[in-house]
Structure 1
């Protein structure tokens, strides 16, 4: 299990710092630092660094295997983020859906796509023991 004295770090490419900044701010991520070639965010308690690297942008992204995101333990937080994404008119790659219906690992999920075609998944498991 994760200890609270550790922060996960993820670095991804972006094609434009300004549009990246606007997307993640609308998602509720606090900008921490901005440099000429990158911007760093508090991404739901972890560190996300978007490096300016337009030639690394995936022109045809697929949900699997490359995406990242957050698994919520509180359904209300999951639903609140979904509502925020809809109200902010953030681009969905995959609308809200239920995966593995009727099975123990059933969960609700949706995917957003950022301006550099990075895919973000947000999900909530009905059975908390299925988080890992």
Structure 2
């Protein structure tokens, strides 16, 4: 069975994000490679295309949201330093 649509949305830096979702944290170089690979495909179910949140602030992060083939919302975040993960 496919996962249901997100039960609700929450705001992060004025952007609505699906709740619930599964997330993975990557270093920025790895995140950029992943984002480039996903953007090159035409079969990705995008919820939020790659973007940068909190630009120039502590905790600056790159993020993207996709839906997997089972309908689950997945978030991938990129940080220049993992020490910044909980800055926001």
Gapped runs of 5+ residues in structure 1? 1-14, 16-53
Alignment partners' CA distance in 1, 2:48 and 2:30: 19
Q: Which residue of 1 aligns with 2:78?
A: 124
TM-score if structure 1 supplies the norm length? 0.50
Q: Which residue of 2 aligns with 1:39?
A: none
Gapped runs of 5+ residues in structure 2? 10-16
Query: Which protein has the bigger helix share?
Result: 1
Q: Which residue of 2 aligns with 1:81?
A: 34
TM-score if structure 2 supplies the norm length? 0.70
Misfit runs of 4+, over 4 Å:
none
Aligned length: 76
8 Å Cα contact 1:108-1:124 kept in structure 2: yes
- Deviations 1:21-79 (CA, angstroms, capped at 9, x unpaired): xxxxxxxxxxxxxxxxxxxxxxxxxxxxxxxxx4xx21x32434311131112x22111
Alignment partners' CA distance in 2, 1:106 and 1:130: 8
Query: Which protein has the bigger strand share?
Result: 2
RMSD: 1.9
1:103 aligns to what SS in structure 2?
coil
Indicate yes or no: 2:62 matched with 1:104: no
Q: Which has the higher contact order (CA 8 A, sep 6+)?
A: 2
Name which one, 1 or 2, has greater alpha-carbon Rg. 1
